[in-house]
Chain A
Amino acid sequence: MTESLIFITNQMSKYIIPFLLVGIPFYGLIVKKVKVYESFVEGAKDGFDIALRIIPYLVAILVAVGMFRASGAMELFISLISPILNVIGFPAENVPLAMMRPLSGSGSLGLFTDLVNEYGTDSIYTKIGATMFGSTETTFYVLAVYFGSVGIRKSRHALIAGLIADTVGVIAAVYICKLIFIA
């Protein structure tokens, strides 16, 4: 059942972009008589501005996260927090990925690759890791890009809410995998 679901969704995602690229101009030009070429160029102009606008925010976030990873503080933090998380049944093998996920996309992909190489794809740790990867996002990056693009400096409760969501996501990943894969 899940195989066919994956097949259908993968097929859908293959055609969705071509569909949008042809469908939206079709509706515009044929149905609504919009000057599609001129509209496209008009809209596309903003791409450059937005990309430039997010640079300072991206530099701020990526530099801080990069320094943190390079210093070894991450490993230190993980070794401190692992015993505590073990008490609630959170496997030590999955702590690094859970901690890295909100900070860095490339970093967490690297850690997930390590899990696959170390334990194989059938291992519970790999499955938990894959579930975590699919259910959380690189919150700091998204915050920098989204808020940066419109010049929002005061993010209020957005970061903490994003981190709560990440925490719930990783914990849910651990428990659902334990429930399903360790019978």
Chain B
Amino acid sequence: MLNYIWFGLIFISVVVGTITGRIDLVTEAAISMSKTAVEIAIGLIGIMALWLGIMKIAEESGLIKIIAKIIKPITIRLFPDVPVNHPAMGSIVLNMAANMLGLGNAATPLGLKAMKELQELNEQKDTATDAMCTFLAINTSSVQIILPATVVGLMGASSSEIFITTIFATSMSTIAAIFSVKFLSKMDRFKIRQETK
């Protein structure tokens, strides 16, 4: 899936760029974006270290286990293949809480910690598990209940009007994410294959 989309994006870019005479810009974008990617990753180091450090304290003091236990009724349904008291559950919840409050900086490190813990349960290390796909889909659907600071900045006084509409739309997208991930995971073409090509 991602193979075709990735190739498709590049292929279409080169073809369209040639036709529109913007092939220079396409080349330039390829080079500058590869730089940007590294800059983003390097920029993450500090904030990652901060939250992973705090999370380690939360883990060793047993806080994560307590949180995991509290939200068991929800996670047991969303992530049936993860043991109920697994630390991944605690990280997942903290990631979602950070996302809801619009704390993107904290959400990413917490999410990556959750991914690391989910990976420990994974038998095929290069293939996403059902739980990972569910977690990712919920994340990409944006569970934010606070308007993004950038939007508030641009909208000014009108931002209060879009509070309700955003909650509605984001609830719809999250529900869609959960249903589609559950449905798709049962489709043949998305099943985990033991043999790799």
Contact = CB atoms under 8 A, between A and B. Distances in A.
Interface of A: 2-3, 5-6, 9-10, 12-13, 16-17, 20-21, 24-25, 27-28, 31-32, 34, 36, 39-48, 50-52, 54-55, 58-73, 76, 102, 109, 112-113, 116, 121-122, 126-127, 130-139, 142-143, 145-147, 149-162, 164-170, 172-173, 176-177, 180-181
A142 B111 CA distance: 10
Contacts of B102: 13
B63 A158 contact: no
24 contacts: A2-B160, A6-B147, A16-B103, A20-B54, A27-B63, A39-B57, A43-B56, A43-B57, A47-B45, A51-B41, A59-B34, A66-B30, A70-B28, A71-B17, A127-B161, A130-B162, A130-B166, A133-B151, A143-B140, A145-B112, A156-B1, A160-B1, A161-B177, A169-B169
Contacts, number: 369
The 8 closest A-B pairs by CB, nearest first: A43-B56, A169-B173, A47-B49, A66-B33, A47-B48, A44-B53, A135-B169, A165-B177
Contacts of B74: none
A52 B48 CA distance: 11
Given A47-B49, A134-B144, A42 B13 contact: no
